[in-house]
Amino acid sequence: MNTMTPTERAVREVRQAAFELNATDHKQALRMLNEALKLQPGHADLLGDLATLHLQAGRHRQCIQAAREALAAKPEHDDSAFALALSLDAVGEADEARELFLELTEGARAERFASQPELVDLCRSKLLQIEAASAARPAPAAADPLEQADATPKVYVPLLTRPDALGQLLDETEGVRALTLDCFDTILWRHTDHPTDVFYDMQRRPAFKAAGIDATMRQKGEFFARQLQLVRTGRTEVTLDQIYLAARPGLSREMLAWLAEDELAAEMNACHALPGAVRLLREARTRGLPVTIVSDTYFDAPRLRRLLEHALPADASAAIGEIVVSCEHGMCKEQGLFKLAQLNQLGNSPAILHVGDNKAADFTAPRAVAMSATHLLHENEQGQQRRRMAANVVALFDPSVRQQRPLHMPYRPVHASHGHQSGTPQASIGHDSLGPLMHAFAAWIDEEAAALAATRSQVKLVFLMRDAYLPLQTYRAIGGACTAYSAHISRFSAYAASFRTQEDVDQYLANFSRNLSLPMIARQLLLSPQRTALLVEQAEASATPLQTFLRGVRQAHVLAEIVTASAAHRERLRRYLERETGMQPGDTLVLVDLGYAGTIQRVLGPTFSQDWKVEVLGRYLLAVGAVDEGFKGLLDRSWLDERALKIVQTYIGLLETLTSTDGASTVGYADDGSPVFETDSAQDGQSAMVEPIQAESLRFAREAQAYFRAARRLPPATVLRDEALGSLGRLLFFPNAMELAHLANFTLEINLGSGVARKLFDIDAGLEGLRRHGLFYMRSAHGGGRMALPAELRAAGLELSTAMLAHARFGMPMVQTDWSTRSEPLLAVIPRGDRTMHAEIVATATHDGYFSALVPLANGEGNVGLAFGRDYGWIQLHSAEIVPLAAMTEEADVMAQLLHAGIKDHGHGLLEFEGTDSLLMLPAGANPISGKAALRLVFRPIARRA
């Protein structure tokens, strides 16, 4: 249980914020701590943090003051004692500093401080320095300790930084005389999710094919080579030759060299230079600072240099001097590579700054040898979870991932640079999830437009409102090259313009007559209110309403009314498109939308081509069905199978809600071509919730585009689409708790002029469904027509949403009894005149420890007892309902009608059974349902009989 007070929670949040802010704005971090101390004067943790910030900046007098105040408030505040000792040593108070260093390593503080071994090592190093200085001192002499401090070179470096701030790092330092840099995920970043993803590119290269080494064998070879090295040397660093020989013993020297070259080529294909690292290298060169690369890698120094030279601009590459790699020295950074490489030749080792992303290897290890270090932060815990879930989605949807090809995550450096700003649900949904999806879609649209423009004279992108509102804004935000227009064409307005012949009307009726009400069908067919009233009245008076209605619609005079109204609607649509897009014969209009079957493109295609002499193509985020030059999607059958696409389409309602404009659906056009809108049925305030999410999505798109331009490498859509799919799938199937809470009140309007809005999901209702029915509540009416049911499962548990996704993705046949082998016995006691019948009932597991028992009611009557007392001392009864077994009748709640015999009711469904003969009874006459029925009891065992 969290017992932290609001004040303690606020202090913790201020300290965390100041720690992160210190990487980019040291002065603001100081102000934050000082403001907090005004509200909490004398707070030891805040004072200790303030002392640390002063120490880092070389302000030793202020550090000493703050640390002494912290220790006065809390004598066991060891971090303040450590900061005080360092500053005292810096100003020449060696004796007091020595006492504190001894306390921290051997005295009263040692046991607590031992949890920070790298700082303990630094204390011991300082003790040796103090002893050495004392032995070398010729005679004690009076000296001003502050003057002595001024003679000591000051060194200050930030403890952490982020990728976007790396280029300005040297501006935040003082006294740095040399730079050492990690390579991978510091200077060079891969566009894959994991380093081993590159192996799936390698396995397709000639050398690996010739040697018979695939990605899996490459990974196993490295593992075994490291294990062998551990046995032989006690260390695990290995070369590429050792890895290849472990995978395929007996390879020739020529083959080993060929394999290494192909592996290097694969890395060159995967890697690019972080723009911030390029700026840092250039700045170091300008300042005359020597730069050494220190990397834990199986590449030797010459090949690593070639990789760096391939990715870096020439002037940045020229800044690099020595390259030190672990495989050439047989040890990694944590094992002593910094010492072995003799990087401390400057004498004042804190003046050497190391920067890298691995906290243990690139921060703790260099500090242990008295170097300075700045930790390059990547994603926070929330970001790491987001990436894991996205990777799971891509692997589930595309089985070729990590079998035949890598898993691409090209937006990783953008998330690392800006993901720390995603502390709100709007940012988590918009920036971290929608952002990659929308940017990838817009980049793909730009690629497609450029390809079409190479063979066509006049290409126009037409983004269909409402759903393509955010894609259009994203396309403009990234500076798309093709002219982009918006057009309000809904499915309703498209169908309204499509009725040219009786065949068109018949096609529509075949598709929708069984799913829509008769007035809704008549409205779509553009029938007048009088005609609609007459046809509906005739249908409702008939024994077969739908057939009567269809016959009425297909009468010649009614069809003539439909065709005439549709022609007028079509003419108004033409005027609208001419006004909005300048459409003219010979144009190529590319309709851009979320998808999915290209309904608007399909139903209006004959009108565009035959009447208006305009080529119409479709480019969609999700395209379900066969693809060709006229119909494509970022996510389509060119790389995903139909089942994968269908499951995304099934639950796409959430995305439609987040990408659409706040306007209502289009139902027609005025004579001047202006659109006519339906009244929006979404609840008040939804647009106010959507707009901040869209703003965050656009922020990501701008950041991503700026990053790729600065990196001089915009990945192709075939790379971007992996993360687009992962981001979409994660949001639909694996949203986090913060996102779920924010999205809980969203609704989705059903198109086709229905005016109907449904709630996307209901976590409480989903939990109720799970407890009553288990996972399979989604198949029945118990889902309530909600359109984002996977979100309900995610709230209940990752295993449920994963099982549901796998079940739908792979068409796995499952019924409720397959879900669990757990069951509970239940004895039913049924009076029959002067006899009593007994039946053993099996209750099946549902969720949260609950079980569901279905007790048949003979002839639909009640009068049945459940002998819970035989097996249980306590249960929690969740619900008791009469369930119809034949007719489509509502279930009836009978909790209030249950009788207790030998049972104590403790409230909240907690029942205590006093004896083995205790009964829970449904009396005769309590069943309100006629016909075949059963009593369903949902309960949770609390205590069983011994």
C-alpha torsion 854→856→862→865, nearest 10: -60
Instruction: Tell me what pLDDT residue 349 has.
Output: 80
pLDDT of residue 1: 44
Instruction: Specify the DSSP class assigned to residue 172.
Output: G
In this predicted structure, what is the pLDDT of residue 685? 59
Largest CA distance in the chain: 119
Asked if 79 and 48 touch (Cβ cutoff 8 Å), the reply is: yes
Q: Tokens 């982020």, residue? A: 162
Q: Which residues contact 712 (CB under 8 A, 6 or more apart)?
A: 272
Closest CA to 463 of 590, 627, 616: 590
The pair of three-digit structure tokens given for residue 724, joined into one six-digit string:
């687009």
169 DSSP 8-state letter: G
C-alpha span between 282 and 578 (Å, rounded):
53
* Backbone region of residue 661 per phi and psi (left: phi > 0; alpha: psi in -120 to 50; beta: other values): beta
Distant-in-sequence contacts of 902-908, Cβ < 8 A, 24+ apart: 902/869, 903/868, 903/869, 908/876
Q: Helices 502-512 & 545-553, crossing angle to 10 degrees?
A: 160
Q: Report in angstroms the alpha-carbon separations of 44 from 18, 119, 293, 813, 904.
A: 15, 20, 39, 61, 53
DSSP state, residue 632: E
What's the CA dihedral at 243, 245, 248, 252 to 10 degrees? 130
CA atoms of 35 and 52, how far apart (whole Å): 16
Q: Which two tokens stand for residue 309?
A: 């030279």
Task: Give which of 99, 77, 102 is closest to 88, Cα–Cα.
Answer: 99
Strands 291-295 and 178-181: parallel
835-845/823-832 β-pairing: antiparallel
370: left (phi over 0), alpha (psi -120 to 50) or beta: left
Total count of residues recorded for the chain: 946
Tell me whether strands 459-465 and 484-488 are parallel, antiparallel or unpaired.
Answer: parallel
Q: What token pair was written down for 283?
A: 């700045």
pLDDT at 784: 53
Helix 6-21 to helix 26-39 angle (10° resolution) is: 160
- Using CA atoms, how far residue 581 sits from 408, 456, 488, in Å, is 37, 17, 11
Spatial contact of 696 and 430, defined as CB atoms under 8 Å apart? yes
Asked if residues 770 and 848 have their Cβ atoms less than 8 Å apart, the reply is yes
The alpha helices in 333-488, defined as continuous H runs, are 337-340, 359, 365-368, 381-397, 412-418, 425-429, 435-453, 469-477
Cα distance between residue 134 and residue 101, in whole Å: 15
C-alpha 719 chain-centroid distance: 17
Pairing of strands 160-161, 372-376: parallel
Residue whose entry in the numeric block shows the structure tokens 């593992």 = 223
Q: How far apart are alpha carbons 792 and 737 in whole angstroms? A: 11
Q: How many CA atoms lie within 13 A of 640 on its CB side?
A: 31
- Tell me the C-alpha to C-alpha distance, in Å, between residue 235 and each of 232, 238, 249, 334, 337: 8, 9, 21, 11, 12
No. of helices (H) and no. of strands (E), the chain: 41, 28
**How many Å apart are CA 633 and CA 809, to the nearest integer?**
19
Residue 935, H or E segment: strand 933-944
SS3 323: strand
DSSP characters over 412-426? HHHHHHHGGG--SHH
What's the confidence (pLDDT) of residue 146? 37
Task: Say what the pLDDT of residue 24 is.
Answer: 61
Who contacts 568 (Cβ-Cβ below 8 Å, separation ≥6)? none
882 exposed, middle or buried (CB, 10 Å; 0-12, 13-18, 19+)? buried
DSSP E strands: which ranges in 833-932?
835-845, 851-857, 864-866, 872-884, 892-893, 899-901, 903-905, 910-913, 919-922
| CA-angle at 837, arms to 836 and 843, nearest 5° | 130
Which residue, chain included where needed, has tokens 């046809």?
535
What percent helix, strand, coil does the chain show, rounded to 5? 55, 15, 30
CA nearest neighbour of 130 among 151, 154, 101? 101
DSSP 885: S
| Other CB atoms within 10 A of residue 925 CB | 10
Nearest CA-CA partner of 512 in 678, 680, 676, 751: 751
The half-sphere exposure of 825 on its side-chain side, counting CA atoms within 13 A, is 11
pLDDT at position 765 is 83
Token pair of 707, please?
């990053």
Q: Which of 852, 908, 910, 909 is nearest to 883 (CA)?
A: 852
23 SS3 class: coil
Q: Per-10-residue mean pLDDT for the chain, 946 residues long?
A: 61 71 69 78 88 84 90 89 89 87 86 82 81 62 42 75 92 91 97 96 96 96 94 92 96 97 97 97 96 96 97 96 94 88 61 93 90 90 90 94 95 88 85 96 97 93 93 96 93 91 91 88 91 90 90 91 92 93 94 92 92 95 94 96 92 88 81 79 67 94 95 92 96 90 76 58 84 76 66 85 86 80 88 80 91 81 85 94 75 89 93 92 79 88 90
**Is pTM beyond 0.75 here?**
yes
**pLDDT of the residue at 284:** 96
70 contacts 55 by C-beta, under 8 angstroms = no
477 Cβ contact list (under 8 Å, min separation 6): 442, 698, 701, 702, 705
Q: What's the token pair of residue 325? A: 């790699």
Helices (H), 212-313: 215-233, 240-247, 253-270, 275-287, 301-311
* Cβ contact 316:710 at 8 Å: no
- How far are the Cα atoms of 76, 124, 141 from residue 137, in angstroms, in the given order? 33, 20, 9
Q: Which residue has the tokens 């600072």?
A: 289
The phi, psi pair for 155, rounded to 5°, reads -130, 125
> Bridge partners of 644?
none
Q: Could you say which DSSP state residue 156 is in?
A: B
- Taking each helix axis from N to C terminus, what angle separates 435-453 and 686-710, rounded to the nearest 10 degrees? 60
